[in-house]
C-alpha cells in the first residue's frame, strides 16, 4: 500500500480538490437561488400556476360554469378572501413602515433618485420602443376600439412605480424593509408628474403610429 501511495500521480489531489470546490460552488449557487429567488410569494405563485393549469387539480378547487360545486370549493373561497385582503394589507404595511416618514439613512437620496430615473423614465422609454417595434414589425391587429387601449396597458405596466407587494416580499425574505419603503415612497411622490408626462407622450406616439 505504501508503494502504491508513493507512485500515485501528484496531480490527483489537486484534481480532487478542484472537483470538491466546484461541487461546493454549485451547491452554494443552488442555495442562493432557493433562498433569494424562490421566496414564499414566488413559490405560492408557481404553485397557483400549477394548480390552475392542471385540469384535475383545477376541478378540485374551482367550480365550473353550470357544474356541481367543486369538492374543495370552500378552500378556494377562503383563499380568494385572503387574496382580496392582500392589497389593503400591503398598504397597511407600507404605511406602518413610513409612519415616521422616509428614512434616508437606510437608503441615500441619490439611490432613490436613480431608482426613480430607472423605473419611471428609463423603463417607460424602453416600453415605448418595444411597443413601437412590435407595431412596426409584428403588428397586432385587434378590433378598432380596443387597439390603442391594448398598447396603453402594455406601456402602463412598465411605467408605473414599484408595486407595494415588493415590500411584503422584502419583509418575508428578511431584507431591508425600511429602505424599500423609502424607495417606494419617493417613487409615488414623483409619479403624479412623471407618470402623467410619460403617458401623454406615449399616447401621442401611438396616435401617430396608428
**Nearest alpha-carbon partner for 145 in 197, 210, 202:** 210
* Residue 115 neighbours by CB distance under 10 Å: 19
Instruction: Kindly state whether residue 96 falls inside one of the protein's structural domains.
Output: no
- pTM equals 0.60
Q: What's the whole-number mean pLDDT along residues 96-115?
A: 83
Instruction: Kindly state whether residue 53 falls inside one of the protein's structural domains.
Output: no
Distance separating alpha carbons of residues 9 and 1, to the nearest angstrom: 14
Q: Are residues 29 and 108 in the same domain?
A: no
Q: Are residues 32 and 106 in the same domain?
A: no
- pLDDT of res. 117: 92
Instruction: Kindly state whether residue 144 falls inside one of the protein's structural domains.
Output: yes
More reliable by pLDDT, 3 or 181: 181
Please give the span between the terminal C-alpha atoms of the chain, in angstroms, as a whole number: 83
Q: How many domains does the structure of the chain reveal?
A: 2
Instruction: Kindly state whether residue 54 falls inside one of the protein's structural domains.
Output: no
Q: Are residues 113 and 202 in the same domain?
A: yes
More reliable by pLDDT, 5 or 70: 70
Phi first, then psi: what are they for 103, rounded to 5°? -110, 100
Instruction: Kindly state whether residue 67 falls inside one of the protein's structural domains.
Output: no
b/e sequence 136-146, b meaning 16+ C-beta within 10 Å:
eeeeeeeeeee
* Residue 91 neighbours by CB distance under 10 Å: 12
- pLDDT of res. 102: 81
Distance separating alpha carbons of residues 159 and 116, to the nearest angstrom: 11
Q: Are residues 121 and 200 in the same domain?
A: yes
Q: Are residues 24 and 108 in the same domain?
A: no
Instruction: Kindly state whether residue 198 falls inside one of the protein's structural domains.
Output: yes
Q: Are residues 113 and 189 in the same domain?
A: yes
**For residues 121 and 204, is the Cβ–Cβ distance under 8 A?**
no
Kindly state the cell numbers that stand for 23: 461541487
Q: What is the pLDDT of residues 172-207, one digit of tens each?
A: 667 777 888 888 888 888 988 998 898 888 888 777
Instruction: Kindly state whether residue 189 falls inside one of the protein's structural domains.
Output: yes
Instruction: Kindly state whether residue 111 falls inside one of the protein's structural domains.
Output: yes
Q: What's the whole-number mean pLDDT along residues 49-70?
A: 80
Q: What is the pLDDT of residues 123-154, one digit of tens each?
A: 988 888 887 787 777 766 665 666 667 778 88
Residue with cell 416600453: 127
Q: Are residues 124 and 30 in the same domain?
A: no
Domain that holds residue 9: 1-37
Amino acid at each position: 500500500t505504501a508503494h502504491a501511495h508513493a507512485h500515485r500521480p501528484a496531480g490527483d489531489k489537486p484534481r480532487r480538490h478542484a472537483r470538491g470546490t466546484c461541487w461546493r460552488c454549485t451547491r452554494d449557487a443552488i442555495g442562493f437561488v432557493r433562498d433569494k429567488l424562490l421566496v414564499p410569494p414566488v413559490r405560492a405563485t408557481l404553485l397557483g400556476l400549477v394548480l390552475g393549469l392542471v385540469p384535475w387539480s383545477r376541478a378540485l378547487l374551482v367550480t365550473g360554469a353550470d357544474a356541481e360545486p367543486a369538492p374543495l370549493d370552500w378552500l378556494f373561497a377562503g383563499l380568494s378572501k385572503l387574496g382580496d385582503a392582500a392589497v389593503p394589507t400591503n398598504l397597511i404595511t407600507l404605511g406602518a413602515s413610513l409612519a415616521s416618514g422616509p428614512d434616508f439613512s437606510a437608503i441615500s437620496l441619490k439611490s432613490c433618485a436613480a431608482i426613480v430615473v430607472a423605473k419611471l423614465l428609463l423603463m417607460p422609454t424602453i416600453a415605448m420602443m418595444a411597443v413601437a417595434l412590435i407595431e412596426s414589425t409584428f403588428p397586432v391587429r385587434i378590433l378598432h376600439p380596443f387597439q390603442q387601449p391594448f398598447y396603453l396597458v402594455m406601456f402602463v405596466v412598465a411605467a408605473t412605480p414599484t408595486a407595494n407587494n415588493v415590500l411584503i416580499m422584502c419583509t418575508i425574505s428578511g431584507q431591508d424593509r425600511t429602505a424599500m419603503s423609502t424607495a417606494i415612497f419617493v417613487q409615488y411622490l414623483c409619479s403624479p408628474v412623471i407618470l402623467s408626462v410619460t403617458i401623454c407622450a406615449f399616447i401621442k406616439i401611438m396616435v401617430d403610429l396608428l
